[in-house]
Amino acid sequence: MSISNEQFWNYWRNGRFNEALACAVKAEKKPINRLQTMLFGTPEQLKQTGIITTISVGEFLYDYIMINPTVVRGLDFARTEDLSSLFSLSQFSSTIDTADITGDIAQLQGYVAEQMVAAELQAKGHDVEFPEDPNNPGWDILVDGHPFQVKDLANPEGVKEHLENYPDIPVYVNKELAPYFEDNPDVYVSTVSREDVLEATTSTINHASDLLDFEIPWITAAVSTLYNIKRVWKDDVAISQAVFNVVSDTSSRAVLGALGQFTGKVAGVFLFGPAGGILGSMLGAYAGASQGWRLSTSVKRLFSKQHEEEWKAATVTLINNVVTQIDKKLEIKKRKIDGLSHHLTGSVANEAIGKEIERRGQMERKYLINKKEELISLSMSLKNGSVYVLEVFPTILATIAKSGVHPVHFQDEMQRVQQAANAYRKKM
């Protein structure tokens, strides 16, 4: 049974021990994916990981969709490095300061403008070609075989300078410059605006840079906050502990997510080149974040060690009392069988019935002895620290319930266990 089973803990928290025991027995009969729990934590922790991953993937897909392929072609043409892969594009974009429009952006938007003007001309049916060298002197594109310069400027001075140096090469300009060259046959005005080019360039670079930023810390903080607010509302945890839980969950997933992202990126690039960088980063980040529960749980356990020890001690006392009661039940069963056997004599039929009763009695005694040994083994494991009380507690309760010992014999011990367990859970 998962320790996060809400129905069980609702019964337990309210002192409804019979229902809690029945819930534990019922859950014991269900198949448990122990490998899943071992790798990804309890169903509640796995659910949180799934929500975090889903939101983060959504952020990635949004950034991917917002990347303008026309802009990418311009960036790729402008730089010597190959920006055709998402990983290379993201790495390159992360080095660009989009807030400084007089630096790299000023240079890059010129190449983006060439691509946007080319797309406009091709849509009109023209054949457009680009030179092999992005720094080709005099012209930027060939339109139906004729060279053209493309200018995306805030003022007309750069266009006038070009016409003076290359009077035979006409120019395409952004629409803001149209009023300056209304009567100039060598200047063609496109529908592309300088603002559109700048916005498209900065937007694409920002989204490409964010491809490798999976937002795990912020998303984790939001998910953990909502989860702990729910627990505070149910009086399952104190507000101060809820704040600690949010900090612990967020920092744990962020640290392991960053480590996983770095490892996955290195492995992906090494094995598959730049194409594997994005996939490796993504898988590594989510794999690392999915293990954040381990680190977070360890931190919480460190700060709740005293409560854990109190819960463990109370549980061991409960087990010892139940074991004592099982011994008494064994004595009662033996006495009842001996009494019946004593009276069932004098005929073949009575002897046959007596043997059957004795056989069934032995089976019941064997069952009880097995439950007793299971409880003793669990108690020893708790004492020597080989198991964690949080992990085996449902099994202990299910075994107690199946032992057939009436709850009246361990009500006091159960209440002490309840108090210790609830105090511990409010620290987790």
pLDDT for position 291 = 60
Tell me what pLDDT residue 329 has: 86
Comparing CA positions, the residue from 313, 318, 319, 317 lying closest to residue 376 is 319
Tell me, what's the pLDDT at 222? Answer: 64
Q: Which are the contacts of 325, defined by CB distance < 8 A and separation ≥ 6? A: 403, 405, 409, 410
* pLDDT of the residue at 402: 83
Supply 160's token pair. Answer: 């006038």
In this prediction, residue 41 has a pLDDT band, given cuts at 50, 70 and 90, of: low
Choose the weakest-confidence range: 53-62, 272-281, 322-331.
272-281
Average pLDDT over residues 130-144: 87
Highest mean pLDDT among 158-162, 263-267, 312-316: 158-162
33: Cβ–Cβ under 8 A, 6 or more apart, which residues?
A: none
What average pLDDT does the structure give for the chain? Answer: 75
Residue 232 predicted with pLDDT over 70: no
Residue whose token pair is 């627990």 = 231
pLDDT at 32 over 60: no
- 311 vs 38, residue with greater confidence: 311
What local confidence, expressed as pLDDT, does residue 4 receive?
A: 44
Q: Which of 209, 71, 65 is nearest to 152 (CA)?
A: 71
Q: In DSSP terms, which residues pair with 231 in a beta bridge? A: none
Structure tokens at 358: 């004795």
Find the range with the poorest average confidence among 13-17, 173-177, 374-378.
Answer: 13-17
pLDDT of residue 117: 92
CB 341 within 8 A of CB 358: yes
Amino acid at the residue 378: L
Distance between CA atoms of residues 405 and 8, nearest Å: 20
Does the pLDDT value for residue 330 go beyond 80?
yes
CA–CA gap between residue 354 and residue 337 (Å, rounded): 9
Q: If you average pLDDT over residues 112-116, what whole number do you get?
A: 90
List, as own/partner pairs, every contact residues 186-195 make where C-beta atoms lie below 8 angstroms and the sequence separation is at least 24, other chains included.
Answer: 187/159, 187/163, 188/148, 190/116, 190/117, 190/120, 191/120, 192/113, 192/116, 192/117, 192/120, 192/152, 194/113, 194/152, 194/153, 194/154
Q: What is the pLDDT of residue 148?
A: 93
Name the burial class of residue 206, with classes exposed (0-12), middle (13-18) and buried (19+) by CB atoms within 10 angstroms of its CB.
middle
Q: What is the mean pLDDT of residues 125-133?
A: 89
Comparing 391 with 273, the larger pLDDT belongs to: 391
What's the mean pLDDT in 221-227? Answer: 67
Poorest-pLDDT segment among 167-176, 210-219, 372-381:
210-219
Retrieve residue 115's tokens: 């691509």
pLDDT value of residue 116:
92
- Label the pairing between strands 128-129 and 146-151: unpaired
What is the per-residue pLDDT across 278-309, written as a single tens digit (0 to 9) for each? Answer: 665 666 565 655 565 555 565 556 556 777 78
Residue 101 CB neighbours (<10 A): 14
Closest among 101, 128, 126, 318 to 201, alpha carbons compared: 101
Q: How confident is the model at residue 129 (pLDDT cuts 50, 70, 90)?
A: very high
Distance set, CA 75 to CA 170, 175, 205, 291 (Å): 24, 22, 9, 38
Grouping H, G, I as helix, E, B as strand and the rest as coil, residue 129 is strand
Instruction: Specify the pLDDT at position 104.
Output: 79
DSSP per-residue string spanning 226-288: HHHHHHHHTTSS-HHHHHHHHHHHHHHHHHHHHHHHHHHHHHHHHHHTHHHHHHHHHHHHHHH
pLDDT at 128 over 70: yes
Among 37, 18, 14, 35, which Cα is nearest to 26's? 18
Q: Tens digits of per-residue pLDDT, 71-102? A: 878 888 877 766 766 777 777 777 778 777 66
Residues with Cβ within 8 Å of residue 193, at least 6 apart in sequence: 174, 175, 176
- Is pLDDT of 210 > 60? yes
Task: Starting at the earlier edge strand, list the strands of the sheet with 171-173.
Answer: 128-129, 141-143, 146-151, 171-173, 187-189
How confident is residue 260, by pLDDT bands cut at 50, 70 and 90? low
User: Tokens standing for 249?
Assistant: 């969950």
* Residue with token string 């009276």: 343
